[in-house]
Structure 1
Amino acid sequence: MEFSSLEGEHRYAAVVRAASRTVVGLDFDGTLAPIVDDPTRAHIHPDASDTLVDLAAEVAAIAVITGRPARQALDLGGLEEVGDAIQAAGKELFLFGQYGNERWSSGNRRIVGPRPPRGLATFERDLPRVLRQAGAADAFVEDKGLAVAVHTRRLDDPEATFKELLEPMSQLAVRHGLVIEPGRNVIEVRSAGAHKGMVVDRLAADLDAQGFVFAGDDLGDIEAFEAVADLEKEGLATLRVCSASSEESALIPLADVVVHGPEGVLGLLRQLTADAREARAA
């Protein structure tokens, strides 16, 4: 665990003191689950379940906030079983899929979400032409129901192809009334209006939180980091955790704490659990 400054250490200490009224928000890919070439095989870190259940005893709530479809995240993460254990301990696990468009919780186990956005079907119809023109015809296209994601990770030069696709995919998205969300060698196209920052704000308000921790790893988490920074201005104890990698560094300048991948995130959560437990017993 590497604090970005002395101020980061002070923020961590404030979160420990406010732990019982703190919400912990976590991205999925790159934060709880290692990044893999095939996104359908991105299973949660084997230590994550026990770590989350232990943490839940010391905080107000835990929320997984991801761009993945909710059902996919539940299955890959085994989160329904984690939610059962957390619910049995008198706390709640929340899951927000597709940047907050889908909602699930261990207390209300039905996935709630909207219909696919207008323009998505025609975007998908036009997408193969854009991919061919960019030399990315073999890119993996993932249909998320409410969004479409184009993954370049399996291609010969994933980073160059990612950059080549950004502008034409952005233009195509705009023509169909949609927006793009770049990530780690992936470009997602979806409707405007939902992002992880809105989820952070909603959770903080609904749960009357006095603290908020958010851990993420790439560009899709910037709005969540910004929302957490705004909560700090309102007097909440906050901590922004970057799960760093060699592929993405956009969050590092915004983070209070930098850790290395899911193992680093889980190590920080275990430390937070231990420190909060000790502070409560003191």
Structure 2
Amino acid sequence: MDLLPTPATRAGRDGLAALLAKPRTAVIGLDFDGTLAPIVADPEQARAHPGAVPALAALAPRVASVAVVTGRPAEVAVRHGGFADVPGLEHLVVLGHYGAERWQAATGELTAPPPHPGVAAVRAELPGLLDRAGAGQGTWIEEKGRAVAVHTRRAQDPQAAFDALRGPLTDLATRHGLIVEPGRLVLELRPPGMDKGVALLDHVRATGAGAVLYAGDDLGDLPAFAAVGKLRSDGVPGLLVCSGSTEVTELAERADLVVNGPEGVVGLLRGLAARLS
């Protein structure tokens, strides 16, 4: 049986205690890549940890909601996570594209706004920009529907390629009304106005949650961490969990609890389900 670890901070311990005391009012928020799914060189090959769906299916019926908050398109996260048609996951939602899309497990319904026109313009210009920057070798473009991302993980010097491209990609995004979201050796060009913090805050408030847990691993999760801080200031206890990474340290420094990657997150979810059963 997975044991529940003890958060390192008083606020984290209070958040965990509130979740355990009144689970039916709790929201569990989770990033996908690096949190439920191990990071891989090709994002198309990313799949949820084998224990993730069973752990979520055991936990979800005992809480108000489980929300997977991801920069991926919602339907991609559903497919790669294996979340569709799973008994016990009726309380699960996937907030894709940083909350612009919403998929509900209970109905299988996906709702989404029209795409931002700047994404198509950026998509057309990206190959030429990468060639001019001399970053073509090992650098590649991921099509994300409502966004587009440039990965440098396969480059000869991934960090140097990332650093060299950040400025030109920011200029390109700005010209077309987009923003750049940096991550673990990836730069995503996407519409402004939504982030994981906005998505999480909206979902928690709509749910009327009395406690919240959020787990993430990357820079894009910092707004969600800030949202939990805002909720705490409003009287809603919260627990911040970092899915440990040596590539990104900012989350670990702000987290109440650091676990060992997706395996550690799955162990935490199983421990919560066991305590609440």
**Residue identity in the other structure for 1:227:** A
Aligned residue for 2:240, secondary structure, equals strand
CA–CA distance in structure 2, aligned partners of residues 114 and 63 of structure 1: 19
Tell me the equivalent position of 1:37: 41
1:67 to 55, 58, 71: 71
Q: Is the 8 A contact 1:244 1:260 kept in 2?
A: yes
CA–CA distance in structure 1, aligned partners of residues 180 and 10 of structure 2: 36
Number of residue equivalences: 272
Q: Is the 8 A contact 1:51 1:270 kept in 2?
A: yes
**Residue identity in the other structure for 2:255:** A
CA–CA distance in structure 2, aligned partners of residues 2 and 37 of structure 1: 33
How far residue 120 of structure 1 moved from its aligned partner, in angstroms, is 1.6
Tell me the equivalent position of 1:101: 100
| Gap runs ≥5 in structure 2 | none
CA–CA distance in structure 1, aligned partners of residues 210 and 9 of structure 2: 22
CA–CA distance in structure 1, aligned partners of residues 235 and 108 of structure 2: 32
Q: Can you list the C-alpha shifts for 1:19-62, whole angstroms capped at 9, x where unaligned?
A: 22100011000000000001001011000111001111321111
CA–CA distance in structure 2, aligned partners of residues 134 and 156 of structure 1: 15
Residue 52 (1) aligns with residue 56 (2): yes
Residue 242 (1) aligns with residue 232 (2): no
| Gap runs ≥5 in structure 1 | 278-282
How far residue 6 of structure 1 moved from its aligned partner, in angstroms, is 4.3
CA–CA distance in structure 2, aligned partners of residues 48 and 81 of structure 1: 15
Q: Is the 8 A contact 1:2 1:258 kept in 2?
A: no
How far residue 273 of structure 1 moved from its aligned partner, in angstroms, is 2.0
Aligned residue for 1:137, secondary structure, equals coil
**Residue identity in the other structure for 1:221:** D
Q: Can you list the C-alpha shifts for 1:99-145, whole angstroms capped at 9, x where unaligned?
A: 11111102231211122212222212221232123321131201111
Aligned residue for 2:223, secondary structure, equals helix
Q: Is the 8 A contact 2:11 2:237 kept in 1?
A: no
Distance 1:192 1:217, change over 3 A: same
What does residue range 1-282 of structure 1 map to in structure 2 within 5 Å?
1=5, 3-82=7-86, 84-87=87-90, 92-138=91-137, 139-277=139-277
Tell me the equivalent position of 1:280: none
CA–CA distance in structure 1, aligned partners of residues 223 and 14 of structure 2: 23
Q: Is the 8 A contact 1:99 1:195 kept in 2?
A: yes
- Identity over the aligned pairs, expressed in percent? 46
Aligned residue for 1:79, secondary structure, equals coil
How far residue 160 of structure 1 moved from its aligned partner, in angstroms, is 1.5
Q: Can you list the C-alpha shifts for 1:224-279, whole angstroms capped at 9, x where unaligned?
A: 110111111111121111111121112112111111110011111122222334xx
CA–CA distance in structure 2, aligned partners of residues 137 and 162 of structure 1: 12
Moved over 6 A (4+): none
How far residue 74 of structure 1 moved from its aligned partner, in angstroms, is 1.0
**Residue identity in the other structure for 2:94:** L
CA–CA distance in structure 2, aligned partners of residues 94 and 7 of structure 1: 26
CA–CA distance in structure 2, aligned partners of residues 270 and 40 of structure 1: 27
